[in-house]
Amino acid sequence: MARVIVLDSGPLGLASKSPRKPDAKLCRDWLRNLDLAGALIVVPAIADFEVRRELIRTNAKAGIRRLDVLLGKYLYAPTTREVIERAAEYWAHVRQLGMPTESDPSLGADCIVAASASVVSGLGNVTTIATDDVAHLIRFPGIDAREWQRIAP
């Protein structure tokens, strides 16, 4: 079975930036190396939403094109009923523990990313969320989240 890497909006957004930005090139090279190593790279719909809305807001047409190219290369994980139900469980769990990841009226995108990872985890032996905000994502039971730069291909 393949290793599964679920992209949070941080690395997905960085990979969508201009190739002239060194960090963006580094992130795209990292993704390419993961792909070459046989990792299954998954983009949750909520990560696409978070990145795309900002690109649209700033009228970054080239960024949208780069995002679309990335989405064409990797597995897209839709926000299904199963994902929403699991996300609601995660959201309630961290609230009950007094460790919310966002303010009360917030949508809970971190919960949805974690739930997406949990749902696709059956695709491989090891599922890891690649992020730039580990602290929020590791609060959810059974979730392995790491800074994207620390995930070796």
Domains of the chain: total: 1
Does pLDDT of 137 surpass 90?
Answer: no
d(CA 51, CA 37): 26
Q: What is the pTM of this model?
A: 0.88
Does pLDDT of 82 surpass 90?
Answer: yes
- Complete edge-to-edge strand list for the sheet that includes strand 40-44: 75-77, 40-44, 2-7, 124-131, 145-147
Q: Which domain holds residue 12?
A: 2-150
Cα-only R_g, the chain: 15
Does pLDDT of 104 surpass 80?
Answer: no
Cα 21 to Cα 61, 110, 114: the distances in Å are 16, 26, 28
Which CATH number characterizes residue 145's domain? 3.40.50.1010
Grade residue 42 by pLDDT with cuts at 50, 70 and 90. very high
Does pLDDT of 106 surpass 60?
Answer: no
Secondary element (H or E) of residue 75: strand 75-77
Share of the chain above pLDDT 90, in %: 69
